[in-house]
Amino acid sequence: MAESFPMNGGDGTYSYAKNSHYQREATNVAKEMINEVIAEKLDVQSLIASSSNSFCIADLGCSVGPNTFFAMQNILEVVDKKYVTQGATSESLEFQVFFSDHASNDFNTLFASLPPSRKYFAAGVPGSFYGRLFPRSSLHLVHSSHALQWLSKVPEELLDKTSPAWNKGKINYTSSSDEVANAYAAQFQKDMKIFLNARAEEIVVGGMLVLIMAGLPDGIHRSKFPLGVFYDSLCSSLMDMVDAGLINESQVDSFNLPVYAATPKEITEVIKDIGCFSIERMEVADPRSKLGSSVNVPSLIMHFRAGLEDIFTKHFGCEVIDELFERTFLKEAEISSALESSYKKGNQLIVALKRE
């Protein structure tokens, strides 16, 4: 069973709905490439020939919105345009959109904010994408944005005190030993194979799988991953809390964030090993190009809280969360300085695959 790490629900101060515009801008970076590959590679007419003119899309890891609605609307418009250019009338094409995430996701907030003017039928599908979610050959296009960097679980070696990969005093792999990084990489490979095999069953031949996820270019060391700066800062805050007697050091030693940024080479290896998809496009993009030259560190910390509060709460308890992030806010200068020395030219992978 894959572990569940839902984003903060509702629409409060620390909710994902209120703290996810950086993810939206990062997704916008991929918009042009997604539009191009759909226009060039997707044969809409042949796909819907046996499906009563209905086109089925799934967004995996949809969270609570509103980003999923923007992404789905963009895809609908491109598919509809391609359908018209192939000589059909757009009025005859109907869309079904499946919004999927873990059962613990706040689907109530998601569906309460559905766009009233949407031109698609909407449904929710609870469950982990590390396994089957839909009937065989039932989907024409699957989209997933900023979700696949989440592993199904923490690599077991990280919690074994006798293992070279025991990650004592760290909560991620970016500044840890090679043994820790290799354990993360191996878990990613296992998870990605499960993910792709499941999608190969669900997507019709000729259908597409579009993925946007945290990543690094080939040859760039993991310590240069910008998000690692925030993981290290959170870890530093935890160790400060150990020194203050607020939590135990053993609690930190037994905690690891199951998040991994893959490289194009790693993704390509898994895709070729599965053998069910052709790689139509793969790019390493720079989300910072949409954010301007300066990064608002306090705002980013709020985004991290919206995305990570649940997993920290489950391990350390809800009573320490405010203290953890308040201490991290105080490290703004350190974080800004570290970000300046991190890799700036691309930390987002965009992958477009076609079902063979």
pLDDT in tens, the chain (356 residues): 668 889 999 989 999 999 998 888 878 889 999 999 999 999 998 888 766 789 999 999 999 979 999 999 999 999 999 988 887 665 678 999 999 999 999 999 999 999 999 999 999 999 999 999 999 999 999 999 999 999 999 999 999 999 999 999 999 999 999 999 999 999 999 999 999 999 999 999 999 999 999 999 999 999 999 999 999 999 999 999 999 999 999 999 999 999 999 999 999 999 999 999 999 999 998 877 666 556 789 999 999 999 999 999 999 999 999 999 999 999 999 999 998 888 877 889 999 999 99
Residue 149 lies in a domain: yes
Per the CB < 8 A criterion, the answer to whether 349 and 214 are in contact is yes
CATH for 75: 3.40.50.150
Residue 337 lies in a domain: no
Residue 156 lies in a domain: yes
d(CA 128, CA 139): 17
Residue 115 lies in a domain: yes
Per the CB < 8 A criterion, the answer to whether 287 and 350 are in contact is no
Pairing of strands 139-145, 54-60: parallel
Q: What is the pTM of this model?
A: 0.95
Residue 274 lies in a domain: yes
Mention every residue, 6+ apart, whose C-beta is less than 8 A from residue 173.
167, 180, 181, 183, 184, 222, 260
What total number of domains does the chain contain?
1
Residue 244 lies in a domain: no
Domain coverage including residue 264: 21-218+257-290+344-355
Residue 280 lies in a domain: yes
d(CA 126, CA 128): 7
Residue 232 lies in a domain: no
Backbone angles phi, psi at 98, to 5 degrees: -105, 120
